[in-house]
């Protein structure tokens, strides 16, 4: 069992949990993920690692309530336990294996959309710890949905919050902020964009136009997380890849996002049915024709 050392709400339906998992903490790196299971009958959920403390044996995850399983997870409190906490899985971010002196010559731009801020944070933190400042754009619908802001400010070279409704920071989408920085003469050698699929798609269209190589995380497409189910199958250029075992990070300019989003919608429908059943409990009659009862 894996005890929850700390649990707190970051924003509406978004929760942070520090989990006691010494073996995972000892070996994980930014970019990787874990498989979490609440109990013996629970669904296996792939979650990107948000932070880790090797000395204390803690791994930080951020969970957004989307379906039945994540709603159950977010009801857990400090002192509760997960049945399974498996990892690290997937491949670390590529820059971790680069020569540090060569890495210091590059200028990185990170773009986190919504929950994507969570996997962006450990990458920016790792670079900061190795003497490299990166610029960070964080986007959300409103100010209240921006997460990990104080943590991100401590590790980012320049921090640019954006809100769709203009309630905080730059008023507009993260793509507009990327274009504004480019217009100001900012030069970036690499962009890392992580967030909702639609956000990553248009971020890549923007950076391709600007000539900025871009890495994305295809974690949102994963279901099983071990390459067995095929849910995260995607085309990267002419090659077929699986996000969980070949990634989760890929060259964003080569991803067929339309195909990936179509597959994602198929699984979202099933999770929506499960959430409805959980919420209605004993009153769920199953006769609506929408789900199997």
Is residue 111 within 8 A of residue 195, CB to CB? The reply is yes
Task: Give the global pTM.
Answer: 0.84
Backbone angles phi, psi at 39, to 5 degrees: -155, -175
Q: Could you count the other beta carbons within 10 Å of the beta carbon of residue 156?
A: 22
Residue 281's pLDDT is 56
Strand partners, 34: 47
Residue 292's pLDDT is 44
Query: Using CA atoms in the order 196, 197, 199, 200, what is the torsion angle rounded to 10 degrees?
Result: 120
| DSSP codes joined into one string, 150-188 | HHHHHH-SEEEEEETTSSSSEES-HHHHHHHHHHTT---
Whole-Å CA distances, 243 to 21, 33, 250, 255, 278: 24, 11, 8, 11, 29
pLDDT tens per residue, range 17-72? 999 999 999 999 999 999 998 888 778 888 899 999 999 999 999 988 877 777 88
Architecture (CATH level 2) of domain 94-217: 3-Layer(aba) Sandwich (3.40)
Structure tokens at 36: 């979490």
Residue range 214-229: mean pLDDT, rounded: 79
pLDDT band at 118 (very low <50, low <70, confident <90, very high): very high
Instruction: Supply the mean pLDDT for the chain.
Output: 86
pLDDT band at 286 (very low <50, low <70, confident <90, very high): very low
pLDDT band at 269 (very low <50, low <70, confident <90, very high): low
Domain ranges of the chain: 2-89, 94-217
**Could you check whether 2-89 and 94-217 share the same CATH topology?**
no
Residue 202's pLDDT is 94
Q: How many angstroms separate the CA atoms of 27 and 43, rounded? A: 24
The CATH homologous superfamily of the domain defined by 2-89: Translation factors (2.40.30.10)
């Amino acid at each position: 069992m894996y005890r929850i050392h700390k649990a707190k709400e970051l924003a509406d339906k978004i929760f942070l949990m520090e989990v006691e998992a010494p073996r995972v903490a000892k070996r994980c790196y930014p970019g990787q993920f874990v498989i979490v299971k609440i109990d013996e009958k629970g669904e296996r959920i792939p979650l990107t690692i948000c932070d880790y403390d090797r000395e204390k044996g803690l791994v930080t995850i951020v969970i957004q309530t989307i379906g039945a399983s994540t709603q159950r997870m977010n009801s857990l409190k400090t002192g509760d336990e997960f049945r399974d906490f498996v990892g690290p899985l997937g491949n670390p971010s590529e820059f971790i294996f680069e020569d540090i002196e060569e890495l210091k010559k590059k200028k990185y731009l990170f773009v986190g959309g919504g929950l994507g801020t969570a996997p962006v944070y450990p990458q920016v933190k790792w670079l900061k710890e190795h003497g490299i400042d990166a610029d960070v754009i964080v986007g959300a619908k409103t100010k209240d949905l921006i997460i990990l802001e104080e943590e991100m400010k401590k590790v980012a070279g320049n921090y640019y919050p954006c809100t769709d409704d203009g309630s905080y920071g730059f008023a507009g989408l993260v793509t507009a902020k990327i274009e504004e920085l480019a217009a100001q003469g900012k030069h970036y050698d690499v962009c890392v964009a992580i967030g909702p699929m639609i956000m990553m798609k248009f971020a890549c269209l923007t950076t391709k136009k600007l000539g900025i190589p871009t890495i994305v995380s295809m974690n949102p497409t994963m279901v099983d997380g071990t390459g067995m189910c095929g849910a995260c199958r995607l085309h990267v250029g002419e090659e077929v890849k699986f996000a969980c075992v070949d990634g989760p990070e890929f060259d964003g300019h080569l991803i067929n996002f339309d195909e990936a989003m179509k597959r994602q919608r198929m699984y979202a429908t099933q999770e929506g049915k499960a959430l409805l059943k959980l919420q209605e409990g004993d009153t769920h009659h199953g006769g609506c024709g929408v789900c199997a009862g």
